[in-house]
Chain A
Amino acid sequence: MMARFRQNCWFEPALIALIIIIIGLVLPSTYYFRIATLVLIAGLSATGLNLLLGYAGQISLGHAGFVGIGAYAVAVLPAKFAVPSLLAVFCGTLVSGIVALIIGRPILRLKDHFLAVATLAFGILIAMVLNNEQWLTGGPDGMAVPRVELFGIRIRSAQSWYWICGGVLVLAVVLARNLLDSSTGRALRALHDSEVAARSAGIDVARIKSIVFVISAVFASLSGSLYALFNGHVTPDIASFLNSIEIVTMVVLGGMGSLSGGLVGAVILVVLPQALSFFHEYEHLLLGLLMILILVFMRAGIVPTLAARWARGRT
């Protein structure tokens, strides 16, 4: 079993890359490219959170805070301090990583709902700073993000961003897959099953949790940077509590502990509101109803449930 798993460790990233390429070749217009790009960007933060929530079993209701740091890094640094956009992306991820490292240790000692509320408070604090420090961030109305230049070419079309974000996402999935197949990954699974047991087995639980927290924060920050660069405009909404909940919802709907599950969740939460806008008044109602129905009938999330059914169907 284990051997087969190892063999297949490239299967998931390759499949995801293939799907991204095929979709990229058939999308008809800028609007579709925009939606698809938003899916890829959301998928990136969902992948990060999935490592934390799905594999390490640690909840965070404040990940939008890291998305906000990444987004505002590429907005503020180039506009106010003349830092090149690409360097700003790096600065954003660095800051997010360091913040996650600093707050991760104490916060991750907390369990379940206590951890949820502590991360929630962190996320809201970030959103509050972005909202209130108008001189730096433009306040609640947000600020424009300077366009990024790569080798002297300004990147602005949704098509180019689709391929860039697709590339970054595939890289992230490969990275996550490698992490999961390393000794850290095995420690993670032990941690998820029982923290006490993992500790007894000599695993440095605090260190492992901290590592995953930092990685998930870096993914979230990166997705924030991509979003801001792609969008050309950011507002503090990006760091809001609702956005944090949305990322968690993606992971839970798609499937905790399944990398492609997080991506499926991202597809649902980005595409569905577009489709439902047709129903106008009933949009939120239907979205909520679908969330409930999916989880009632596929409580493990869409991808793990379907995969289990498929496996059962074959035997």
Chain B
Amino acid sequence: MLAQFLQFAMSGLTVGAVYGIVALGFTLIYNASGVMNFAQGEFVMIGGMVTVSAVGAGVPLPLAALIAVIVAASVGVLLQRLAIEPVRDAPPVVLIIITVGAALVIRGVAQIVFGKQLHKLSDFSGDTPLAFLGASILPQALWVLAGTVLIVALVWLFLNLTMLGKALIATSANRLAAKLVGINISFILALAFALSAVIGSAAGILVTPITFTYAEVGTLLALKGFAALVLGGLGSPLGAVIGGLLLGLSEAFAAGYLSSTYKDAVALLLMIAVLLLRPGGILGHAGAERV
């Protein structure tokens, strides 16, 4: 019984960690610019795809990963400069549709550059499962979990301890005030997109040995990441990760204990229930609305 429970929990945590990192990427951009970036899943795809191609060309894994992160960050900055910056104050739904368009473009380019087939990356430290109280865990899952913790810690440190990070928070809180104290808003917004792309691509690199990657892998991840983000409480980085983990766990436990056919439905119903009980998400606050 315990072994089964642990197996389900481990599955949920691994999948949920990825949802969480994607949601974290969403949060950074949303906080800084108010844009809900539906091309977030494409950063995950770039991370995996570029690493796979570079490794395939004989580049060692760490260097390949670095290249992938740099490519993703550049795409993030380009997206912000070319498509978001010119319409910065447009209504949110217009910005959403622009990012949907951007996702189509990135996916289209990836299909031409990398082809339409599935690709694989070798596990970082072998695929011999580790036994833990009767459950069986792949080393790569530990990489994903450790990577998630590290990414969350780094983001926290960056936001709270560096000048740039504080400037980002200030911009999120009040753009006009931030501008008045001399923060270069345009630079900060580009930074948010770059950072978010870095996080997304890192998730892509960590998870590709488990999930494989292909040009259209981002669509579903963006959807789940978006759900995780809103579930956790819009705008809270910690909430985003918690939301992701909860979503992953509910899917795994539903598949294990209830019905594998309707496991996603269970997760969705749970999400709707949370939203109705706490309209601001788990860590959000449903305070009075500004008029």
Q: Is B98 an interface residue (CB 8 A)?
A: yes
Q: Which residue of B has the minimal Cβ distance to A103?
A: B272
**What sequence of 0s and 1s flags, for each residue 164-186 of chain A, a beta carbon within 8 Å of any chain B beta carbon?**
00000000000000000000000
CB interface residues, B 165-185, toward A, < 8 Å = none
**What sequence of 0s and 1s flags, for each residue 50-71 of chain B, a beta carbon within 8 Å of any chain A beta carbon?**
0000000000000000000000
The answer to whether B261 touches A132, judged by C-beta atoms less than 8 angstroms apart, is yes
Closest beta carbon of chain B to A158's beta carbon, Å: 29
Known A110-B279, A117-B226, A299-B94; judge A196-B289 contact (CB<8 A). Answer: yes
CB interface residues, B 248-291, toward A, < 8 Å = 261-262, 264-265, 268-269, 271-272, 275-276, 279-281, 289, 291
Q: Which of B3-11, B84-92, B193-201 contacts A (4 or more CB under 8 A)?
A: B84-92
Q: Which of B99-107, B118-126, B131-139, B156-164 contacts A (4 or more CB under 8 A)?
A: B99-107
The answer to whether B265 touches A125, judged by C-beta atoms less than 8 angstroms apart, is yes
From DSSP, what is the main secondary structure of chain B's interface residues?
Answer: helix
Query: Please, how many angstroms separate the alpha-carbon atoms of A113 and B103 in the complex?
Result: 19
Residue numbers in A under 8 Å from B111 (CB-CB)? 281, 284
The answer to whether A53 touches B93, judged by C-beta atoms less than 8 angstroms apart, is yes
Known A111-B279, A132-B261; judge A249-B104 contact (CB<8 A). Answer: no
Q: Is A197 an interface residue (CB 8 A)?
A: yes
Residue numbers in B under 8 Å from A53 (CB-CB)? 93
Give the number of chain A interface residues (Cβ < 8 Å).
Answer: 47
Q: Is B1 an interface residue (CB 8 A)?
A: no
Known A112-B92, A253-B97; judge A120-B227 contact (CB<8 A). Answer: yes
Query: Please, how many angstroms separate the alpha-carbon atoms of A106 and B278 in the complex?
Result: 12
From DSSP, what is the main secondary structure of chain A's interface residues?
Answer: helix
Query: Please, how many angstroms separate the alpha-carbon atoms of A288 and B111 in the complex?
Result: 14
Closest beta carbon of chain A to B45's beta carbon, Å: 14
Closest beta carbon of chain B to A32's beta carbon, Å: 26
The answer to whether B227 touches A121, judged by C-beta atoms less than 8 angstroms apart, is yes
Q: Which of A67-75, A144-152, A290-298 contacts B (4 or more CB under 8 A)?
A: A290-298
Closest beta carbon of chain B to A28's beta carbon, Å: 31
Q: Which residue of A has the minimal Cβ distance to B101?
A: A291
Which of B86, B230, B279 lies in contact with A109, CB distance below 8 A?
Answer: B279
Q: Is A91 an interface residue (CB 8 A)?
A: no
Query: Please, how many angstroms separate the alpha-carbon atoms of A112 and B281 in the complex?
Result: 13
The answer to whether A284 touches B108, judged by C-beta atoms less than 8 angstroms apart, is yes
The answer to whether A114 touches B87, judged by C-beta atoms less than 8 angstroms apart, is no
Which chain A residues have a beta carbon within 8 Å of chain B's beta carbons? 53, 59, 106-107, 109-114, 116-118, 120-122, 124-125, 128, 132, 194-197, 241-242, 245, 248-249, 252-253, 256, 281-292, 295-296, 299
Chain A to chain B contacts (Cβ below 8 Å), 12 pairs: A107-B276, A113-B230, A117-B275, A118-B272, A121-B268, A121-B271, A122-B272, A128-B262, A288-B100, A291-B101, A292-B82, A295-B87
With A117-B227, A196-B289 given, name 9 new contacts (CB 8 A). Answer: A114-B230, A117-B275, A120-B226, A121-B227, A124-B264, A288-B102, A288-B104, A288-B107, A292-B105
